Amino acid sequence: MRILFIIDSFCSGGAQRQMVNLAIGLKNRGHDIEFFIYHPEFSYFKDFVLNNGITIHEFYKKHRISVKLFKELRRIIKNGNYDAILSFLDAPNFYGEIANFGTQCPIIVSLRNIYPKKLKIKYWFLSQVHRLATHITTNSYTQKESMIKLFPWAKSKISVIYNGIDTNLFKPLYKKADNNILTLVAIGRISEQKNIINLIKALHYLKESNKINCLIKWAGRIDSKKEFDMANKLLRELNLYNQWIWLGEREDIIDILNSADALIHPSLYEGLPNAICEALACGKPVLASNVCDNSRLVLEGERGLLFDPHDIYDIASAIYKFNNLSALERYKMGKKGREFALSELSLENFINSYENLFNKIIKINKKPLHQA
């Protein structure tokens, strides 16, 4: 198959990582994959893509809505003789759907996050444009159910494909954590969605009530300087700097996960968090907010613990409860998480699901496959 992948950039985000892994997986199976990106200034995965022999079409987007971008993307689609198109994320989905309108090329768009409870006009509009898509994928059952409820016309062309994790890479290393202090790692961009402020307040409550001594290590890029500044101000006011470490954007996530006692993921909403999937693959228990598909991933008491992200006392209670588990109980949680990752979250499952979907859609559209 010859497929065009559309995404905004090669930054270090979860959607970008998933799409790059998918592209390389399909390339290794003999398919011809090309990328179109419009923020080439973010190049975290660029060399990785090029080193795997994948062509990249770059466009420098200078304006919020760029007519030139539509024209360039449409030119590439019309001249590329692709069997199918795949786009990830809201804006790339929109550009792909509009640029592809009127061509004979099937397009699959993927929704990588959950809609807010109160649907904004922006999301309503973008969802209506999905009428132009041949098929829609989500990486969570929560988003699929939300989409069908809000837009019944989508029911016949929407499916769930969970994220894929390289379980040969993300695996338990059984590093010994510091027994004197509970060490939790959080992985994610610094933004309001990630609920950092409530996590800090929960940490302060645990300290003030003399319950436990806990260290939080947060790894991720700064998406919101406002949120980062607010968090640092609160850490100063509550005298928590000795219990909080900003790790920044890191490449050694496997080592970071394996050196901690557990992952903590307090997001207010999510699609399917790569951080949780990677932690499970590494055999680490997960403390996560009870939102979206997290209950399917973590399964309360089995692979970790869940909490209400809006309730700092509930967050604190989950941390305290985990701290009181024995080493054997923690190990069993991690082992069950690893087993779940192997059966449900493997990279092979992810690639197979998209490859099968492409084949099905291309067959329905009666467009002959290119010979790999």
334/360 same-domain check: no
274 Cβ partners below 8 Å, 6+ apart?
A: 14, 17, 18, 163, 165
Find the domain containing 286 and state its range: 182-344
Q: Is the dihedral of CA 78, 158, 18, 25 positive or negative?
A: negative
296/240 same-domain check: yes
53/97 same-domain check: yes
211/67 same-domain check: no
What pTM was computed for the model? Answer: 0.85
225/335 same-domain check: yes
154/235 same-domain check: no
Average pLDDT per consecutive 10 residues, the chain (372 residues; last block may be shorter):
97 90 97 97 94 96 88 97 96 97 96 81 93 97 93 96 95 72 94 96 93 92 95 96 94 93 94 92 97 94 97 97 96 97 96 97 69 42
CATH of the domain at 60: 3.40.50.2000
* In-domain check, residue 171: no
Closest among 317, 269, 40 to 142, alpha carbons compared: 269
pLDDT reported for residue 127 = 94
CB atoms within 10 A of CB 189: 18
292/213 same-domain check: yes
* In-domain check, residue 174: no
Report the number of distinct structural domains present in the chain. 2
pLDDT reported for residue 215 = 96
213/354 same-domain check: no
pLDDT reported for residue 211 = 78
* In-domain check, residue 169: no
209/317 same-domain check: yes
Residue 185 in contact with residue 257, Cβ under 8 Å?
yes
235/340 same-domain check: yes
* In-domain check, residue 192: yes
190/99 same-domain check: no
194/333 same-domain check: yes
